[in-house]
Homo-oligomer: A and B are copies of this chain.
Amino acid sequence: MEPDHSRHATGITLRELAERCGAELAGNGELMIYRVATLEDADPKSISFLSNTRYRAQLASTRAGAVIVAQRDAAATPLPKLVTSNPYAVYARIAAIFHPPAAAAPGVHPTAIIAATAKVAASAMVGPNVVIGHRTSIGERAQIHAGCAVGDGCSIADDVTLYPRVVLYANSVLGPRTIVHSGAVIGADGFGMAEQDGRWLKVPQVGRVVIGADVEIGANTTIDRGALGDTVVEDDVKLDNQIQIGHNCRIGAHTAIAGCTGIAGSTTIGRNCKIGGAAMIIGHLDIADGTTISASTGVFESIRTAGVYTSAFPALPHREWQYVASVLRRLRSFATRVRTLERSLENKASEKGE
């Protein structure tokens, strides 16, 4: 029922795949491979992979023609294989051979509305109903899909892809090869206001959003412009869907953040961090390079030392949780009672001259 969208017409030999991906070939290198597939869904024309030990049992039963495995799993299958220290990375490279990113025919759709002072590269694609503001530049081979709204003074580098209905507010900057998924909003005003006499005064948000090269930004993610300076997302940062990044944050290069995470204003996340889904990091913090923050974890203090940090308590059956929660509420008196017990025993001991 699934359309045959993942099949390569003429096939590629396993030997060629090994060479193009830098993996070690074991078995029949002349085997023709036509597609990538999971161990469970593969057929003899497919190459599959094992990277998550959770799926190790499927290695024995897969119908795949060939597999990508780590050295430690190589003996567990008689299939022709690619052996590598990083099966998932080799899989990623092979999948990209069978599914190269779609190129778009250059040209500007007649319904696109492009300001006279904007510059659009001849090789760029600008889709229907796109609006591009004054002094904005669009780089070579960029793809600006249907309904995107790009404000004045933006800079969109070569090979950027904006999927349908992305919004860039004025003066946003996107580095080369960056991908932004639908519904993302880059450069909206940060949440800045001053309280006076019980009312709010809006604080003008006049900084920019500056995004580096090779960044990917998920659907409906929001990145606010800086209040004064810029909000910065460095190279090779990967942001999942529905992430919120407040004004004047800086996200260090190669950091990956899973969906639904919120980062409040003026927080700096280091390089090569991994942040789980639905994490929450308050404002004005510094998170060290290489830090891992678990899913659903709240961060309320700077993290100076790389490591794994967690605060999410796992679900329990409701009745049991109710009991835990009720004891939690009474922890204060509980602590007092233990102290009392200790004193009482100490007193007894000293009475006896122990």
Question: Which residues of A come within 8 Å of B, CB atoms?
Answer: 2-3, 5-6, 36-38, 41, 52, 54, 86, 88-89, 91-93, 95-96, 98-99, 101, 109, 111, 113, 127-129, 131, 145-147, 149, 151, 153, 163-165, 167, 169, 171, 179, 181-183, 185, 188-189, 191, 193-196, 198-204, 206, 208, 214, 216, 218-220, 222, 224, 228-230, 236, 238, 240-242, 244, 246, 254, 256, 258-260, 262, 264, 272, 276-278, 280, 282, 284, 293-301, 303, 307-318, 320-325, 327-329, 331-332, 334-335, 337-338, 341-342, 344-345
The answer to whether A129 and B131 touch across the interface, beta carbons within 8 angstroms, is yes
The answer to whether A228 and B262 touch across the interface, beta carbons within 8 angstroms, is no
**14 other A-B residue contacts (CB within 8 Å) besides A294-B318, A295-B298:** A38-B229, A88-B203, A145-B149, A163-B188, A183-B185, A191-B241, A198-B254, A198-B272, A222-B259, A224-B241, A244-B259, A293-B315, A309-B317, A324-B328
Residues in B with CB closer than 8 Å to A342 are 337, 341
Copy tally for this chain in the complex stands at: 3
The answer to whether A219 and B216 touch across the interface, beta carbons within 8 angstroms, is no
Question: Closest approach, in angstroms, between the C-beta of A167 and any C-beta of chain B?
Answer: 4
Cα distance, A318 to B38, chains bound together (Å): 32
The answer to whether A37 and B228 touch across the interface, beta carbons within 8 angstroms, is yes
The answer to whether A298 and B315 touch across the interface, beta carbons within 8 angstroms, is yes
Residues in B with CB closer than 8 Å to A246 are 259
The 6 closest A-B pairs by CB, nearest first: A149-B164, A308-B318, A260-B262, A185-B219, A99-B204, A188-B219
Cα distance, A186 to B334, chains bound together (Å): 48
29 pairs from A and B in contact (CB 8 Å cutoff): A54-B284, A88-B203, A95-B206, A96-B201, A98-B204, A101-B204, A113-B128, A113-B146, A129-B131, A146-B149, A165-B165, A179-B189, A181-B189, A183-B220, A193-B238, A193-B256, A199-B254, A244-B260, A264-B277, A282-B295, A298-B313, A298-B315, A300-B315, A310-B322, A311-B312, A313-B328, A323-B332, A338-B338, A344-B345
Known contacts A193-B256, A198-B254, A338-B337; is-contact A325 B314 (Cβ 8 Å): yes
The answer to whether A169 and B163 touch across the interface, beta carbons within 8 angstroms, is yes
Cα distance, A295 to B284, chains bound together (Å): 14
The answer to whether A241 and B228 touch across the interface, beta carbons within 8 angstroms, is no
The answer to whether B242 and A191 touch across the interface, beta carbons within 8 angstroms, is no
Residues in B with CB closer than 8 Å to A299 are 314-315
Most buried by B among A101, A183, A230, A329: A183
Cα distance, A171 to B165, chains bound together (Å): 18
Residues in B with CB closer than 8 Å to A171 are 3, 5
Cα distance, A86 to B198, chains bound together (Å): 13
